[in-house]
Structure 1
Amino acid sequence: MSRIGKRPVDLPSGVEASVSGQTISVKGPKGTRQFTATDDVTLTVGDGAVTVTPRGKSKRARQQWGMSRSMIANLVTGVTDGFKKELEISGVGYRAQMQGNTLKLALGYSHDVNFEVPAGVTVTAPKQTEIVVEGDDLQVVGQVASDIRDWRPPEPYKGKGIRYKDEYIFRKEGKKK
């Protein structure tokens, strides 16, 4: 029995959900998102909540049950509050700034890194050492934040690089003389 799957997804006020076949569409203040579930689960909307139930007792049906419920919960969160990832830049001379739809990063290379921001995601640089990635799709927001971080991941000796705001970098001790 899936502990996640058996809980219904509550729809807050201002959010509407409709099911057609295996596709659920969620409409809220921040836009409309949809998800297509596999044939192993049944989606129903009623009483201000979305419920997901497995079809049969197969292992695949039980796997899809919890996953589908989590995806629908992410749709509801995305159209109401949205998702946000915050990155910090640390290092001498490392900085970020937005120019139009391009994030310009100075990361100690011989050239500046120009990162094109994909559609559906908003990237801002409130300070030269902070980057905020926002959007209504959790997967896309996480992927964009990861792509930015991949340009200069934090190193363990001095901690220089781009890291998530809540990330802990395990520091190593340098060479002994």
Structure 2
Amino acid sequence: MNNATVVYSGRTTNWPVIVASVVAGVALAVFGRPWDGPWPGMVVPLAIFVGLLVVGVVTSTSMRVTAGPRGVQVYCGVFGWPRFTYSRERISGADVVAVSVWRSWTWTRRGGWQLFLRSGPALRLALRSGRYVTIGVTDAEAALAALDLAASGAARG
């Protein structure tokens, strides 16, 4: 009796966006010359900008995806938030599609959620609700194989 479980796990990090965000933040701080302006008036906008920059970098520049018997889980950012979970019962089908980074992190009426940080192959889930979710993974074929194996195991057992 073999009770082996296959689970795909992969992490994607968008280093160019991290570098560009840090460079842009430093450039705005330096070229804005907050030390020359009236400090009480500059502290609040600078704090808001730095806070938004940190939140953006921490939550939207990396994704960890797992796929297997429990479905697909997507953990975004350093702390795993926001988090998306698609149980196996909610998934009616899955396939591999090619995506363009120019449409990442969007929701469309026809396409559903699109969660990816880079161009290339991605895992597209068809949900039982009729919606679709496209998730960027490092190895889309392995993620699909883990889902297929979990579905065939559930059908047998």
**TM-score surpassing 0.5?**
no
Larger Rg: 1
Per the normalisation by structure 2, the TM-score is 0.32
Per the normalisation by structure 1, the TM-score is 0.29
The structure whose residues are more often helix, as a share, is 2
